[in-house]
């Protein structure tokens, strides 16, 4: 269960996603080989999750 | 000339006088001439066909092509003896061997010193002194096998199946970074390292390293255990299983999905309060091809070794990258949707074998497993022992945890520096290169503390994880104020032994 996703920036560009995974706050790098990132992107593609822009 | 005698009218013996001279001419048998009525005892150069000899006055000699003997004792071995009658060697005592003393052959027990088989400068000998088997090639020691089955090779060893042959990581369930041996009822999480507990329903059982503290099988100190918490009737689409996903790099040589697909053997030891047929499966990353397998536990509460040989699949897609190569699944209760016929590949996402025992179906039922090995070939070799540090490093490619547990409460994480009035970064290097850039979780911010030379001590703010690769990344700590750009800081535990940072790169 991925919820409350938001990009995090470093040096002015997105570098990871802060997201609650089964209720635990996690930080997921933008690496297609990372299974969390792949799952998040699948949910986004399916319209089931939105990633908020970085603050 | 006398009147010819009429033979047809003869009623008595025909007198020789009645025979003409031609009948007095000797006839020749072989090359021996004789006259009718004469007696001969020797016939030379005679060829006979279809002859039956009913008896001979004396044994036919060796020189005449015989044996020179009147009888040959059953089971004796015949030895040559020039032109004299053959000699024989009796079998002697059970276990005897036919041995040469350089002149004669005798039946005797194995030598009191050693026995050997030689071929020129190469030989194999068995020492009766210590039982060792030693081989020499070209006169040089090649191999010694002692009575403890240790094999000593002075030169290079080339094996069809190599060392580091087990494709399973943490097959003996030793490494438990996340839980340190604690049990849990959580679902769809990793248990001991590399082994996940997948379940379609929550709260149907407890898992854990060395759960219930049964005695592991000889040679092992750990196992992964499961105990059912109820008698749950598995639905068609339910599944409960222990799973190890194997990285594609570690099965690339199997050539699965090609005509050259290699056979593998999966072996393990299991112990259950239940008996019967149990099941599991192998499947690919896409869940489009799988092989259900079954095995039998005949005796309850007894460690049972199991070996399953599987011909490699010649079709479908099997990743040979850092993605999921093959998943090894041990079912604890799987519904009909995910169960298939054991013993054959199918283009379906099976997790177990049809008819397999459901552990979750019996309240209090237990299932323990260890010594899991997946190797190339059709023979289950002994479980491959790896040093603890090696096994831990293999696990850390997929999961790594920094923890203040076991420390004094002030364990350091890293040093870093402020780069604005509100943020500071701490560079992190992993112990080993991870499979992918890892996801990270932190314990509560209050369990951390920042020793800041210029900005003062702080245990507020919030952590995040940035700029990650497979080898390193940075922890960013953000405050509302108080950080000095360019000044050094240290991130440490805040008088806590429960601080942790977990790095996930699992499959």
Chain A partners of B323 at a C-beta cutoff of 8 Å?
A: 33
Q: Looking at the complex, report in whole angstroms how far the Cα of residue B434 sits from the nearest Cα belonging to chain A.
A: 10
Q: For a pLDDT cut of 70, what percent of chain B falls above it? A: 93
Query: pLDDT digit string (tens) for B4-19?
Result: 556 656 677 766 666 6
Nearest to B167 by CA among B100, B232, B249: B249
Query: pLDDT digit string (tens) for B384-406?
Result: 999 999 999 999 999 999 999 99
The CA distance from B304 to B308, in Å, is 13
Query: pLDDT digit string (tens) for B160-178?
Result: 666 789 999 999 999 999 9
| In contact, A28 and A36? CB cutoff 8 Å | yes
Look at A31 and B468 and tell me if their CB atoms are within 8 Å.
yes
B205: three-class secondary structure by DSSP: strand
- Residue B1: the pLDDT is 44
- Specify the residue for token string 């599944």: B239
Of the partner residues A16, A24, A37, the one whose CB lies closest to the CB of residue B465 = A16
- Specify the residue for token string 């929550």: B202
Q: Looking at the complex, report in whole angstroms how far the Cα of residue B233 sits from the nearest Cα belonging to chain A.
A: 25
A43: three-class secondary structure by DSSP: helix
Look at B464 and A27 and tell me if their CB atoms are within 8 Å.
yes
Query: pLDDT digit string (tens) for B238-283?
Result: 999 999 999 999 999 999 999 999 999 999 999 999 999 999 999 9
Chain A partners of B465 at a C-beta cutoff of 8 Å?
A: 8, 16, 27, 29
Answer yes or no: is pLDDT of B101 > 90.
no
Averaged pLDDT, B363-374: 98
Question: Is B505 part of the contact surface with chain A (CB cutoff 8 Å)?
Answer: yes
Element (H, E) at B395: helix B388-396
- Specify the residue for token string 């008595």: B12
Nearest to B168 by CA among B10, B282, B31: B282
Element (H, E) at B396: helix B388-396
Chain A partners of B467 at a C-beta cutoff of 8 Å?
A: 10, 15
Averaged pLDDT, B490-494: 93
Answer yes or no: is pLDDT of B230 > 50.
yes
- Residue B17: the pLDDT is 63
Cβ-based neighbours of B170, under 8 Å, separated by 6 or more? B192, B193, B194, B195, B391, B394, B395
Q: How confident is the model at residue B214 (pLDDT cuts 50, 70, 90)?
A: very high
| In contact, B487 and B420? CB cutoff 8 Å | no
Question: Is A39 part of the contact surface with chain B (CB cutoff 8 Å)?
Answer: no
Question: Is A31 part of the contact surface with chain B (CB cutoff 8 Å)?
Answer: yes
User: Hey, of A2, A24, A33, which one would you mutate to test binding to chain B, going by the most B CBs within 10 A of its CB?
Assistant: A33
- For B207-269, give the DSSP string: EEETGGGPPPPTT-S--EEEEESS-----TT-EEEEEEEEEGGGGGGG-TTSTTPPPEEEEEE
Query: pLDDT digit string (tens) for B185-210?
Result: 999 999 999 999 999 999 999 999 99
Look at B464 and A36 and tell me if their CB atoms are within 8 Å.
no
Give the number of residues written for chain A: 55
Strand partners, B125: B116, B134
- Residue B96: the pLDDT is 85
The CA distance from B152 to B96, in Å, is 30
Answer yes or no: is pLDDT of B181 > 60.
yes
The CA distance from B145 to B133, in Å, is 5
Four-CA torsion B298, B300, B303, B305, nearest 10 degrees: 20
Cβ-based neighbours of B457, under 8 Å, separated by 6 or more? B449, B450, B451
Nearest to B463 by CA among A27, A20, A52, A5: A27
Q: Looking at the complex, report in whole angstroms how far the Cα of residue B442 sits from the nearest Cα belonging to chain A.
A: 8
Strand partners, B205: B228
Contact map slice: B 424-483 vs A, CB within 8 A = 435-442, 464-468, 473-474, 476
Answer yes or no: is pLDDT of B42 > 90.
no
Cβ-based neighbours of B266, under 8 Å, separated by 6 or more? B282, B293, B307, B308, B309, B310, B328, B372, B373, B374
Give the number of residues written for chain B: 507
- Residue B52: the pLDDT is 87
Q: Which residue from B minimizes the CA distance to A8?
A: B466
List per-residue pLDDT tens for chain A, 55 residues long: 999 999 999 989 999 999 999 999 999 999 999 999 999 999 999 999 999 999 8
- Residue B57: the pLDDT is 87
Choose between B107 and B340: higher pLDDT: B340
Tokens read off for B239? 């599944």
Query: pLDDT digit string (tens) for B66-93?
Result: 999 999 999 999 999 999 999 999 999 8
| In contact, B213 and B201? CB cutoff 8 Å | no
Q: Looking at the complex, report in whole angstroms how far the Cα of residue A45 sits from the nearest Cα belonging to chain B.
A: 18
Q: Looking at the complex, report in whole angstroms how far the Cα of residue A53 sits from the nearest Cα belonging to chain B.
A: 15
Look at B437 and A35 and tell me if their CB atoms are within 8 Å.
no
Averaged pLDDT, B455-481: 87
Ranges B108-117, B153-162, B343-352, B488-497, most confident: B343-352
| In contact, B384 and B166? CB cutoff 8 Å | yes
Look at A33 and B441 and tell me if their CB atoms are within 8 Å.
no
Q: Looking at the complex, report in whole angstroms how far the Cα of residue B359 sits from the nearest Cα belonging to chain A.
A: 26
Answer yes or no: is pLDDT of B347 > 70.
yes
Answer yes or no: is pLDDT of B456 > 90.
no
The alpha carbon of B265 is separated from its chain's Cα centroid by a whole number of angstroms, namely 6
End-to-end CA distance of chain A, in Å?
23
Query: pLDDT digit string (tens) for B292-331?
Result: 999 999 999 999 999 999 999 999 999 999 999 999 999 9
Of the partner residues B436, B442, B507, the one whose CB lies closest to the CB of residue A31 = B436
Of the partner residues B439, B467, B474, the one whose CB lies closest to the CB of residue A34 = B439
| Average pLDDT of chain B to the nearest whole number | 91
């Amino acid at each position: 269960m991925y919820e409350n996703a938001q990009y995090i920036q470093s040096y002015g560009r997105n570098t990871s996603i802060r997201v609650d995974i089964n209720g635990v706050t996690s930080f997921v790098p933008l690496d297609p080989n990372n299974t969390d990132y792949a799952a998040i992107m699948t949910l986004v593609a399916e319209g089931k999750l939105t990633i908020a822009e970085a603050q | 000339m006398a009147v010819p005698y009429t033979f047809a009218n003869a009623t008595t013996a025909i007198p020789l006088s009645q025979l003409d001279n031609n009948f007095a001419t000797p006839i020749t048998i072989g090359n021996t001439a004789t006259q009718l009525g004469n007696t001969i005892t020797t016939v030379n150069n005679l060829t006979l066909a279809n002859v039956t000899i009913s008896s001979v006055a004396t044994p036919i000699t060796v020189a005449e092509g015989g044996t020179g003997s009147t009888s040959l004792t059953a089971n004796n071995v015949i030895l040559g003896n020039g032109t004299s009658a053959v000699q024989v060697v009796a079998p002697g005592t059970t276990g005897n061997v036919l041995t040469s003393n350089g002149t004669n052959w005798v039946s005797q027990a194995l030598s009191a010193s050693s026995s050997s088989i030689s071929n020129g400068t190469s030989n194999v000998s068995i020492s009766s002194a210590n039982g060792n088997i030693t081989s020499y090639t070209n006169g040089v020691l090649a191999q010694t096998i002692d009575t403890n089955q240790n094999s000593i090779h002075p030169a290079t060893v080339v094996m069809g199946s190599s060392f580091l042959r087990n494709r399973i990581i943490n097959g003996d369930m030793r490494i438990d970074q996340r839980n340190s041996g604690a049990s849990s009822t959580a679902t769809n999480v990793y248990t001991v390292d590399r082994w996940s507990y997948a379940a379609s329903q929550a709260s149907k059982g407890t898992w854990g390293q060395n759960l219930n503290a049964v005695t592991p099988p000889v040679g092992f100190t750990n196992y992964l255990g499961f105990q059912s918490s109820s008698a749950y009737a598995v639905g068609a689409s339910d599944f409960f299983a222990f799973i190890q996903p194997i990285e594609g790099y570690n099965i690339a040589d199997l050539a699965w999905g090609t005509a050259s697909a290699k056979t593998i053997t999966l072996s393990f030891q299991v112990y259950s309060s239940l008996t019967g047929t149990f099941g599991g499966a192998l499947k690919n990353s896409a869940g489009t091809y799988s092989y259900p397998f079954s095995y039998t536990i005949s005796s309850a509460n007894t460690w049972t070794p199991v070996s399953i040989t599987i011909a490699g699949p010649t079709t479908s897609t099997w990743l040979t990258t850092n993605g999921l190569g093959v998943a090894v699944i041990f079912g604890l209760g799987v519904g009909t949707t995910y169960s298939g016929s054991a013993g054959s590949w199918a283009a379906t996402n099976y997790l177990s074998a049809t008819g397999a025992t459901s552990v979750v179906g019996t309240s209090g039922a237990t299932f323990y497993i260890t010594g899991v090995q997946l190797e190339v070939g059709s023979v289950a070799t002994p479980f491959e022992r790896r040093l603890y540090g090696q096994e831990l490093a293999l696990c850390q490619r997929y999961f790594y945890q920094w923890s203040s547990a076991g420390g004094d409460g002030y364990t350091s994480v890293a040093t870093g520096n402020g780069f604005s009035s509100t943020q500071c970064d701490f560079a992190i290097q992993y112990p080993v290169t991870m499979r992918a850039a890892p996801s990270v979780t932190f314990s509560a911010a209050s369990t951390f503390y920042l020793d800041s030379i210029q900005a003062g001590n702080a245990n507020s703010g919030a952590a995040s994880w940035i700029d990650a690769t497979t080898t390193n990344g940075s922890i960013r700590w953000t405050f509302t104020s108080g950080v000095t750009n360019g000044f050094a800081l240290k991130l440490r535990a805040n008088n806590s032994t429960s601080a942790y940072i977990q790095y996930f790169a699992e499959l």
